[in-house]
């Protein structure tokens, strides 16, 4: 594959409702109303989302430069690029645009910090204390981070403030707890030898994160890497660099030595590709699309054969059995698909419903989608904001058109909302067939596809008939049915009567083309450690 093609693909990397918390933004959140349009019940915000003047969040954008060797610096080229507000398509600010020279500077700083600096030589307890101080600072500044995250991504403030920021802090508390508990083994061997294994940090970790969960992905990557004693060069998604830079400043306040965490903002072809192919990077971690993951793996192999972990795409089945409480199943299936504007790699995007409850489920799923409140993410009660950018917005609309052209039944939605920003109506298709693109491809948007099945063996076969294997959901009252599905489905996570449960200790990753390796939990530490065997002869041992 040509390097130009490889670089262009890297630019496509992408890659989880609660009431609004108190704080500065809470006072901005008005009450809801409803209206009818074309015979559908739609919230007023659904029709006015792109027409009303957007709320200005009470937060300043303070960090727009790269973080390299403990300092915020301009790009070597002096270039900047706009970071857009997905509610309007207008610029929030301009951020330093990284390229190969900036990556070189960041890698050099990380290499020096690892080879000569205090971080890997520091006691594990001291590293733990730095991570704990950072987590405490995150909690102190959680409102600013939540406001920035919603502004930059378009996701509801209720989601970022009450779910994502607490999870972000929790993840770093979790990894801080692991820092001083990483150890090897004493291994029995034939003969007079003392054998031990050492678990050592791998070195400089290059990390590329997506735009759909910028802070959460920051934690999934940076947390275990630092806990193990590595240094990091992180490339943010070009759409959403703001909160990672803010977090970088908090790490400085927490006492992280210079060069241990370096953050470069930029595009895939000019910053992502140089990082993936850099010969002085010892390990690479990427979250994004499967297509781009293949490219990242190839670049890593071509350079210095660095190990790679990949968290990639999905087309996860959500299976509603005939014994299901339909009302509860509808609500959970709705959440599994529409959460985060549908921009979730493990979204339950293939909704399989048993034929005996199919019609009832479909009608209620349609009604629930029509009640979904779409609008400004800083307004109280809003469940769905805009898609991330114009490219993703147009991609989702193309898939909707494909579903219509394939003769799936459009139950509701199917179009944009307003004429400003990237808002899309919550869309539901029924009578979906396996060979339709909307049933095969990862749409990454608010489009629910409902398929009918007759029995367990059939739906297991159909659910597994995909190149993906990231996650699956099962809704049933029968424990035997649940056990059958949980073992038969080829997916890295199977949620039974729940969905999108992301505890810090629960491993996450995919089968097949959904990735390599696991994130979170004890398994994530393996990504950032080398195992060394040390063998020493024993003379006249008292015992073996």
Is 149 labeled as catalytic in the residue annotation? no
First to last CA, the chain: 54
Rounded CA gap, 53 and 48, in Å?
9
Rounded CA gap, 63 and 483, in Å?
49
Q: Which helix (H) or strand (E) holds 151?
A: helix 142-153
Burial class of residue 73, CB neighbours in 10 A (0-12, 13-18, 19+): middle
Residues near 377 by Cβ (< 8 Å), separated by ≥ 6? 87, 150, 154, 155, 156, 157, 385, 386
Rounded CA gap, 4 and 10, in Å?
10
Tokens, residue 216: 């959460």
Percent composition of the chain: helix, strand, coil (DSSP 3-state, to 5) = 40, 20, 40
Tokens, residue 94: 């301009």
- What are the distances in angstroms from CA 439 to CA 83, 158, 348, 352, 458? 32, 30, 11, 11, 16
Residues near 415 by Cβ (< 8 Å), separated by ≥ 6? 397, 400, 424, 425
Give the number of other CB atoms < 10 A from CB of residue 122. 17
Residue 498 dihedral angles phi and psi, to the nearest 5°: -160, 175
C-alpha closest to that of 26 among 142, 147, 116: 147
* Residue 317 contacts residue 472 (beta carbons within 8 Å): yes
Rounded CA gap, 364 and 360, in Å?
6
Going by their DSSP bridges, the two strands 447-453 and 231-236 should be labelled as: unpaired
- What are the distances in angstroms from CA 218 to CA 209, 261, 352? 7, 11, 33
- Active-site hit among 144, 311, 442, 519: 311
Q: Give the residue numbers marked as catalytic.
A: 311
């Amino acid at each position: 594959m040509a390097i130009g093609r490889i670089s262009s693909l890297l630019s496509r990397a992408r890659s989880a409702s609660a009431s609004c918390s108190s704080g500065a933004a809470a006072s901005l959140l008005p009450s809801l109303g409803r209206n009818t349009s074309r015979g559908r019940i739609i919230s007023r915000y659904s029709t006015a989302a792109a027409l009303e003047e957007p709320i200005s969040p009470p937060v300043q954008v303070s960090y727009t430069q790269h973080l390299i060797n403990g300092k915020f610096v301009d790009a070597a080229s002096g270039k900047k690029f706009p970071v857009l507000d997905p509610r309007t398509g207008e610029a929030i600010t301009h951020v330093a645009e990284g390229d190969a020279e900036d990556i070189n500077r960041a890698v050099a700083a990380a290499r020096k910090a690892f080879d000569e600096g205090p971080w890997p030589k520091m006691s594990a307890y001291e590293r733990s204390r730095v991570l704990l101080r950072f987590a405490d600072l995150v909690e102190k500044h959680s409102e600013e981070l939540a406001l920035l995250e919603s502004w930059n991504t378009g996701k509801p403030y209720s989601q970022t403030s009450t779910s994502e920021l607490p999870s972000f802090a929790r993840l770093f508390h979790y990894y801080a707890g692991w820092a001083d508990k990483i150890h090897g083994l004493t291994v029995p061997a034939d003969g007079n030898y003392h054998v031990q294994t050492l678990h050592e940090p791998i070195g400089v970790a290059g990390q590329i994160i997506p735009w759909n969960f910028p802070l959460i992905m920051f934690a999934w990557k940076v947390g275990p890497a630092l806990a193990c004693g590595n240094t990091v060069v992180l490339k943010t998604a070009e759409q959403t660099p703001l909160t990672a830079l803010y977090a970088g400043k908090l790490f400085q306040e927490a006492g992280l030595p210079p060069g241990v965490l370096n953050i470069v903002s930029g595009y895939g072809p000019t910053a992502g590709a140089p990082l993936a192919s850099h010969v002085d990077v010892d390990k690479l971690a990427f979250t994004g699309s499967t297509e781009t993951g293949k490219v990242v793996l190839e670049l890593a192999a071509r350079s210095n054969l660095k190990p790679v972990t990949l968290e990639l795409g999905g087309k996860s089945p959500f299976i509603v059995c005939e014994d299901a409480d339909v009302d509860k199943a509808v609500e959970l299936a709705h959440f599994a698909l529409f959460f985060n504007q549908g921009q979730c790699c493990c979204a339950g995007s293939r909704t399989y419903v048993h034929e005996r409850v199919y019609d009832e489920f479909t009608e209620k799923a349609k009604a629930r989608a029509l009640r979904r409140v779409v609008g400004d993410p800083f307004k109280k009660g809003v469940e769905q904001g805009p898609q991330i950018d114009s490219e993703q917005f147009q991609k989702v609309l193309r898939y909707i058109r494909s579903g219509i052209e394939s003769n799936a039944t459009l139950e509701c939605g199917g179009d944009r909302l307003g004429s400003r920003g990237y808002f899309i109506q919550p869309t539901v298709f029924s009578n979906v067939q396996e060979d339709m693109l909307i049933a095969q491809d990862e749409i990454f948007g608010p489009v629910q596809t409902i398929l009918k099945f007759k029995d367990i063996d059939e739906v297991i076969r159909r659910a597994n008939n995909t190149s993906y294997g990231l996650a699956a959901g099962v809704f049933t009252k029968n424990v035997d049915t649940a056990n059958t599905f949980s073992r038969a489905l080829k997916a890295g996570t199977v949620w039974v009567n729940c969905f999108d449960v992301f505890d810090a200790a629960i491993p996450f990753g995919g089968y097949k083309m959904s990735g390599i390796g696991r994130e979170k939990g004890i398994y994530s530490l393996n990504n950032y450690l080398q195992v060394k065997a040390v063998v020493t002869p024993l003379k006249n041992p008292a015992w073996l």
